[in-house]
């Protein structure tokens, strides 16, 4: 299984290269990959295979795959039909099709995602593959991105299925925590299914995800809209793959939850509603692709009903219909693609006489349509007759419910027969008043529209015709173009004729239910009630076809318009968000801050007041020195509120930061103290750089007078944070984890500095997220300043027009600083101190695993060294100190950190796990190297790149703008 997934992933990666080299014929090569997976599935049919790769066991995120009877059935459809669709693509597209290589990669990737979904045993892994199919379907549906309706359809499908997926994720987590296991196999092996309110909520949420994916009413409207996708996408995703994901999930969970009180009301009611509503719509629309799309929604409702009943007989009929539906619906979608290719239209009002011009294509379509209508001896009849019998014998349903369900399914099946006849008639029959395609003078017809359009004219199927087929004629398809749908049509016949063999292949899934399987798949069960119902269904379907004109009212759809409801919902959400934003974000910074701080005061304190309270023990200080530092901090904080000089305000705020660092040091946390000192120093420098562009004093007109409300709010925030912190410390009942951290850091991380080991090993995922935020922040700051170009090295001294290489200076760019701003003492001191600071930076980096320091502290120290060079030598000195692109440093650091996180997986170890190497070298002696050092190097480079980017954007860039402004002012002044 894992090999199949990796092979499909590899094929998706190289697909663009193959398409570039071989053109559209590369699809034949790509088809060999799922075909090889199908061979493995056939070889292991009837067995149970498991794969387990431990990744993050503490959060149940392991790669658990399980191949059983249901997975075998679904894998056959995913891989087998996927291979045929790829072969079909080789003749459907032209070599000059835009983005054909990307399309091929997405199709193969989708096959891999679906295979992973149906073989996942871990529910969280299943969700990952579930969302991958959502993203890939978004890309495939929106393949023709230049068309507005394609973009709309892709976004619509993404919003509906992704929202359902998020609801399903919550349900899976509730179910996993309730069951104390996230494995589906553990859930299915339980003697008694889980129950309770939490389980009921989980079932509802999971069903929302499943029903949205399978386009069941009322979440069905995205599937007809998704007909904007190229026809191969419709034939695969919307017939055999994506829409089957929800049906598969219902079938997988039915043995456990079929008797849950919320299961049947949701599954059966919505399933029957889908059959009826979408079936009626199939008799109204005039686009052949839309006829199949609404028919798919109708059939998906039927499948949901069968697999959701929860009896073995219904389960057998359900998987039989899943197979039948995939065969005939994928075949019919491909037939529509061939018609669109050859005739240039899919409008059934514009097609006439095609059955005589394309008899082979017509025969293929008739076989598939007969299976869709449930006519013997095709597999659709076998499945539908078994379904009727299973519904009539479903002892899990009450008598009235069983009768209502049977009536609904019979009516829905009549509609299926009606739109099946209408499809064949609309595509191939002779119609009066419609120009017929001729073989004479036929030429290659380019697809004029690979998207669904629904006419709102007032015509009927058989009345006056608004349009006629263009005079271009009919282009007959090649044998290779017909091969894929022909294989599916013939397979549908063979599966029906060989019903006992089909039964042996499909019945193992039905036998997983606790009850005994009583029925079997067969072409002939005798003169039974299901047979009588089948005759009635066929007769009723023919009658509905005859009455199709009375059912269709294009000016006013009888069932409303789901797209309008979708648009109205989006407009309502937009208006709600605008009103909420307007209420809380009025452009006033004090109001926004007051809202945030008020929430901080009210919400936690109210919850604390009504919740459990524990005794709080406080002492003012451990030593009188802490009281002195606290007094200084209070004085500086008060001073920051009254000072009008901007620089003085920043300095006193900085003193509060240094005071916190001293308190950290007094409490025995040298790492925190060192980091606090370095961060505070760098922050002061950045503030000073920004404040250069502002007046030194706050203007009298902009000074804010004392406001009691703000003072009260500030006091309440301070009190709330203090009280919450005190209660949080007092609420601890277990042994603090920090008691174990030093030993664990040395045993598992190989370091004595527990803080650094936590950052680069134990809690490295947090660090990886934080440094990713740093990279984003650096990019954001630079993008605000560099509007036209993001990256680039800092300018060097030689780039200045005033550079003289013959002049000697302590700093290469020192002579370029204006004499009024130049300090010889600072330049000399910088030249002497800079190497020392850089050596200290390297020392912090290497010693951090066992002593205070680390990549973050070392990077900050190097950043301060660069800041010193900049302050002494100006903007050109940055290029002399570090002539590299800041963006390259950021990218290299993030690559090293992320690469370290992933590389351990290739050695069978958890992500970010460290390996320890100890060697004895000449001169150096005993050397102990931990691979977490590479992760720390990534942190080091990111911090240095961040500082360099800030110095370039807020320093060098601002310097150049100020210089240009001064030059302009001088020029204007001299002109006056």
Q: Do residues 108 and 12 make contact, with C-beta atoms less than 8 angstroms apart?
A: yes
- Residues in contact with 757: Cβ distance below 8 Å, sequence separation at least 6, in sequence order: 745, 746, 749, 750, 751, 849, 932
Give the C-alpha separation, 258 to 264, whole Å: 7
Q: Omega before 7 cis (within 30°)?
A: no
Look up residue 28 and give its two tokens: 């034949």
Sign for the pseudo-dihedral over CA of 563, 564, 567, 572: negative
At residue 815, the pLDDT reads 64
750: left (phi over 0), alpha (psi -120 to 50) or beta: left
Give the C-alpha separation, 175 to 183, whole Å: 10
Give the C-alpha separation, 740 to 362, whole Å: 75
63: left (phi over 0), alpha (psi -120 to 50) or beta: beta
Give the C-alpha separation, 668 to 507, whole Å: 68
Of 231, 276, 282, 315, nearest to 409 (Cα)? 276
The residue written with tokens 């013997």 in the block is 376
At residue 300, the pLDDT reads 94
At residue 968, the pLDDT reads 60
Give the C-alpha separation, 270 to 273, whole Å: 5
Q: Do residues 60 and 187 make contact, with C-beta atoms less than 8 angstroms apart?
A: no
Give the C-alpha separation, 332 to 348, whole Å: 14
Report the 10 Å Cβ neighbour count for 871: 18
The residue written with tokens 């030993």 in the block is 743
Concatenated DSSP letters for 457-520?
SS--SSS--S----TT---PPPHHHHHHHHHHHHHHHHHHHTHHHHHHHHHHHHTTSSSPP---
Task: Indicate the pairing of strand 925-930 with strand 916-921.
Answer: antiparallel
Please state the separation of Cα 951 from the chain's center in Å. Answer: 36
- Alpha carbon distances (Å) from 725 to 538, 660, 673, 729, 929: 74, 16, 20, 6, 39
Q: Do residues 184 and 252 make contact, with C-beta atoms less than 8 angstroms apart?
A: yes
At residue 439, the pLDDT reads 41
Q: Is the pTM of this model over 0.85?
A: no
The C-alpha angle with vertex 682 and arms to 678 and 687, in degrees rounded to 5, equals: 145
Sign for the pseudo-dihedral over CA of 344, 348, 349, 354: positive
38 membership: H or E segment, kind and range: helix 26-43
Please state the separation of Cα 22 from the chain's center in Å. Answer: 31
The residue written with tokens 């290497």 in the block is 846
Q: Do residues 253 and 206 make contact, with C-beta atoms less than 8 angstroms apart?
A: yes
Give the C-alpha separation, 211 to 895, whole Å: 40
**Count of helices and strands (H, E) across the chain:** 38, 4
At residue 946, the pLDDT reads 86
At residue 443, the pLDDT reads 36
What are the beta bridge partners of residue 66? 50
The residue written with tokens 């976004």 in the block is 155
Report the 10 Å Cβ neighbour count for 975: 6
- Residues in contact with 368: Cβ distance below 8 Å, sequence separation at least 6, in sequence order: 327, 328, 329, 331, 332, 335, 485, 488, 489, 492
Of 501, 490, 482, 479, nearest to 327 (Cα)? 490
Please state the separation of Cα 256 from the chain's center in Å. Answer: 29
Rounded to 5 degrees, φ, ψ at 54 are -75, 125
Give the C-alpha separation, 464 to 446, whole Å: 27
406 membership: H or E segment, kind and range: helix 399-428
Rounded to 5 degrees, φ, ψ at 925 are 80, -145
Averaged over successive runs of 10 residues, the pLDDT of the chain (976 residues) comes to: 92 93 93 95 92 80 91 95 94 88 94 95 94 93 86 90 93 91 89 86 94 90 88 90 92 91 93 93 90 94 93 93 95 94 87 89 95 93 93 86 93 94 92 52 38 39 44 78 94 94 92 86 88 93 86 56 79 87 75 86 84 72 86 89 84 90 87 89 82 74 74 90 83 78 81 83 79 79 57 57 58 66 76 90 89 89 88 76 83 87 70 76 77 87 86 67 58 54
Report the 10 Å Cβ neighbour count for 477: 21
Give the C-alpha separation, 600 to 721, whole Å: 9
Ranges of beta strands (E only) in 693-784 are none
Q: Do residues 753 and 762 make contact, with C-beta atoms less than 8 angstroms apart?
A: no
Sign for the pseudo-dihedral over CA of 567, 568, 574, 577: negative
DSSP 8-class letter at 975? H
Look up residue 548 and give its two tokens: 């199709």
Q: Do residues 828 and 801 make contact, with C-beta atoms less than 8 angstroms apart?
A: no
Q: Do residues 18 and 10 make contact, with C-beta atoms less than 8 angstroms apart?
A: no
Half-sphere exposure of 519 (CA within 13 A, CB side): 29
Q: Do residues 104 and 236 make contact, with C-beta atoms less than 8 angstroms apart?
A: no
Give the C-alpha separation, 86 to 28, whole Å: 7
SS (H, E, C) 287-339: EHHHHHHHHHHHHHHHHHHHHHHCCHHHHHHHHHHHHHHHHHHHHHHHHHHHH
Rounded to 5 degrees, φ, ψ at 468 are -130, 155
Secondary structure of residue 928 in the 3-state scheme: strand
Look up residue 439 and give its two tokens: 């073989």
Q: Do residues 678 and 864 make contact, with C-beta atoms less than 8 angstroms apart?
A: yes
- Residues in contact with 570: Cβ distance below 8 Å, sequence separation at least 6, in sequence order: none
At residue 861, the pLDDT reads 92
At residue 888, the pLDDT reads 85
């Amino acid at each position: 299984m894992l090999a199949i997934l990796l092979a499909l992933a590899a094929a998706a990666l190289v697909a663009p290269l193959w398409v570039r080299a071989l053109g559209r014929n590369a699809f034949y090569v790509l088809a060999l990959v799922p075909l090889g997976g199908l061979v493995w599935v056939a070889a292991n049919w009837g067995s149970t295979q498991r794969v387990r790769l431990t990744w993050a066991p503490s959060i149940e995120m392991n790669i658990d795959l399980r191949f059983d009877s249901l997975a075998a059935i679904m894998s056959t459809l995913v891989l087998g039909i996927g291979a045929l669709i790829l072969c079909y693509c080789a003749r459907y597209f032209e070599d000059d099709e835009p983005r054909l290589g990307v399309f091929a990669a997405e199709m193969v990737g989708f096959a891999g995602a679906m295979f992973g979904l149906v073989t996942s045993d871990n529910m969280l892994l299943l969700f990952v593959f579930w969302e991958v199919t959502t993203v890939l379907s978004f890309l495939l549906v929106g393949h023709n991105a230049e068309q507005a309706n394609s973009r709309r359809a892709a976004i619509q499908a993404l919003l509906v299925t992704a929202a359902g997926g998020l609801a399903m994720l919550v349900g899976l987590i509730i179910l996993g925590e309730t069951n104390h296991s996230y494995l589906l196999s553990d859930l299915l092996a339980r003697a008694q299914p889980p129950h309770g309110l939490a389980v009921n909520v989980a079932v509802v949420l999971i069903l929302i995800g499943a029903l949205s994916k399978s386009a069941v009413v009322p979440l069905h409207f995205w599937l007809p809209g998704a007909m904007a996708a190229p026809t191969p996408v419709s034939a695969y995703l919307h017939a055999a793959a994506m829409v089957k994901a929800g049906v598969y999930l219902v079938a997988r969970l039915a043995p456990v939850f079929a008797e849950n009180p919320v299961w049947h009301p949701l599954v059966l009611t919505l399933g029957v509603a889908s059959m009826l509503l979408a079936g009626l719509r199939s008799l109204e629309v005039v686009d052949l692709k839309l006829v199949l799309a609404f028919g798919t929604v109708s059939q998906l409702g039927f499948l949901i009903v069968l697999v959701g009943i929860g009896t073995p007989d219904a389960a057998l009929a359900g998987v039989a219909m899943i197979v039948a539906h995939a065969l005939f619906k994928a075949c019919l979608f491909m037939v529509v693609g061939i018609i669109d290719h050859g005739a240039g239209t899919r409008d059934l009002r514009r097609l006439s006489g095609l059955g005589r011009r394309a008899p082979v294509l017509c025969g293929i379509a008739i076989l598939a349509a007969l299976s869709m209508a449930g006519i013997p001896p095709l597999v659709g009849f076998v499945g539908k007759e078994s379904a009727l019998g299973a519904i009539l014998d479903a002892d899990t349903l009450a008598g009235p419910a069983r009768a209502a369900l049977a009536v609904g399914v019979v009516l829905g099946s009549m509609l299926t027969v009606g739109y099946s006849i209408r499809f064949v008639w609309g595509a191939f029959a002779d119609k009066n008043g419609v120009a017929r395609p001729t073989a004479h003078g036929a030429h290659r017809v380019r697809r004029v529209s690979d998207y669904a359009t629904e006419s709102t004219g007032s015509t009927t199927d058989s009345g006056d015709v608004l349009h006629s087929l263009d005079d271009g004629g009919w282009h007959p398809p090649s044998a290779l173009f017909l091969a894929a749908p022909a294989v599916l049509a013939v397979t549908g016949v063979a599966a029906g004729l060989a019903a006992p063999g089909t039964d042996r292949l499909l019945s193992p899934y039905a036998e997983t239910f606790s009850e005994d399987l009583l029925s079997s798949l067969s072409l002939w069960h005798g003169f039974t009630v299901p047979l009588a119902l089948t005759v009635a269904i066929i007769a009723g379907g023919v009658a509905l076809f005859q009455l199709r004109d009375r059912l269709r009212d294009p000016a006013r759809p009888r069932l409303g318009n789901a797209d309008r409801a979708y648009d109205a919902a989006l407009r309502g959400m937009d208006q709600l968000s605008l009103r909420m934003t307007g209420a809380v974000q009025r452009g006033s910074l004090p109001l926004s801050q007051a809202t945030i701080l008020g929430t901080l005061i009210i919400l936690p304190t109210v919850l604390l007041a009504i919740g459990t309270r524990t005794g709080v023990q406080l002492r003012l200080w451990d030593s009188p020195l802490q009281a002195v530092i606290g007094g200084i901090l209070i004085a500086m904080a008060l001073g920051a509120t009254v000072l009008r000089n901007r620089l003085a305000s920043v300095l006193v705020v900085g003193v509060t930061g240094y005071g916190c660092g001293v308190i950290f040091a007094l409490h025995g946390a040298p790492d925190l103290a060192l980091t606090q000192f370095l961060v505070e120093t760098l922050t002061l420098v950045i503030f000073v750089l920004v404040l250069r562009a502002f007046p030194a004093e706050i203007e009298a007109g902009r000074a804010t007078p004392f406001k009691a409300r703000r003072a009260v709010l500030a006091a309440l925030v301070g009190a709330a944070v203090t009280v919450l912190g005190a209660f949080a410390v007092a609420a601890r009942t277990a042994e603090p984890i920090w008691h174990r951290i030093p030993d664990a850091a040395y045993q598992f991380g190989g370091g004595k500095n527990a803080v650094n080991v936590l950052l680069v090993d134990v809690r490295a995922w947090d660090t990886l997220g934080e440094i990713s935020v740093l990279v984003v922040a650096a990019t954001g700051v630079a993008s605000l300043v560099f509007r036209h170009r993001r990256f680039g090295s800092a300018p060097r001294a030689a780039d200045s027009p005033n550079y003289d290489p013959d002049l000697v200076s302590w700093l290469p760019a020192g002579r370029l600083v204006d004499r009024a701003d130049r300090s010889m003492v600072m330049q000399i001191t910088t030249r002497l101190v800079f190497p020392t600071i850089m050596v200290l930076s390297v020392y912090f980096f290497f010693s951090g695993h066992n002593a205070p320091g680390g990549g973050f502290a070392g990077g900050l120290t190097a950043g301060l060294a660069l800041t010193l060079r900049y302050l002494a030598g100006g903007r050109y000195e940055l290029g002399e100190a570090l002539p590299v692109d800041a963006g390259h440093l950021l990218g290299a650091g993030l690559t090293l950190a992320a690469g370290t996180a992933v590389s351990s997986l290739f050695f069978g170890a958890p992500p970010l796990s460290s390996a320890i190497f100890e060697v004895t070298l000449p001169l150096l002696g005993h050397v102990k190297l931990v691979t977490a050092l590479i992760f720390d190097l990534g942190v080091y480079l990111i911090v240095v790149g961040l500082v360099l980017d800030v110095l370039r954007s807020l320093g060098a860039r601002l310097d150049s703008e100020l210089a240009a402004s001064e030059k302009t002012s001088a020029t204007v002044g001299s002109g006056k």
